[in-house]
Amino acid sequence: MMTPHIEAKKGQVAQVVLMPGDPLRAKFIAENFLVDVVQFNGVRGMLGYTGQYKGRLVSVMGSGMGIPSMGIYAHELFSFYDVERIIRVGTAGGISPHLALRDVVIAMGACTNSNFVGQYNLAGHFAPIADYRLLAAAVKHAEKAGVAYRVGNVITSDTFYGDDTAAMAGWLKMGVLAVEMETAGLYALAARLGKQALAILTISDMVFTQEVTTAQERQNSFTQMMEIALETAIEE
């Protein structure tokens, strides 16, 4: 059953997978939130685990950085391991002045400067959006937890160090909340394969004010986002 990038056997991956970009965040989630955990992947250091959360099987696996990496792992999970839902749990740079460090953004849609959707040869511009059922569940659980959150559009960028220093001001003008690097690819792929996807993001830095969190915080904290994602994952 192995694919080029995942060594799991058939049945070792749950139907719902949480996907942080950082594989060490996947390890943190498995160790702190799941029980009866089994590691199913270690190829290229992209750690993947399956365990029980409140009596339900849930998997968690890193996606790596950027749409190309997300596209590989999400495609293999959706296409070869019978995964039905992927919930990205990642970090983002805040663009909106209404956000603060550690706020949660639930991505209703994802703009992008990537040409990933070009492979589908569409006669126009595809708008990648979240699965509504997952989105509604995440909002419900964020409300229940009393978490500071916003729902809206994000921009998925192909560049972390971009040459166009004014680009984010343009996205701010269009009401985009935050910038990250994977969501649009995940949403487009889920649409193409008839699957469900959602991105729940924690603001790790603020683009215009230069406020930042540390690498250690990004790897081992942001637990509110994780809890919302896990509760959403087991929603009937």
Answer yes or no: are the C-beta atoms of 8 and 81 closer than 8 Å: yes
Alpha-carbon distance of 112 to 164, in angstroms, equals 15
Alpha-carbon distance of 103 to 116, in angstroms, equals 28
The answer to whether the Cα torsion of 192, 197, 203, 205 is positive or negative is negative
Q: Taking the C-alpha atoms of 206, 211, 213 and 215 in order, what is their torsion angle to the nearest 10 degrees?
A: 90
103 part of the active site: no
DSSP, residue by residue, 133-147? HHHHHHHHHHHHHT-
Which of 228, 205, 225, 227 has the alpha carbon at shortest distance from 215?
205
Alpha-carbon distance of 59 to 181, in angstroms, equals 22
Choosing from 22, 36, 82, 205, the catalytic residue is 205
Answer yes or no: are the C-beta atoms of 221 and 22 closer than 8 Å: no
What number of H helices and E strands is found in the chain?
A: 7, 9
Catalytic (active-site) positions: 205
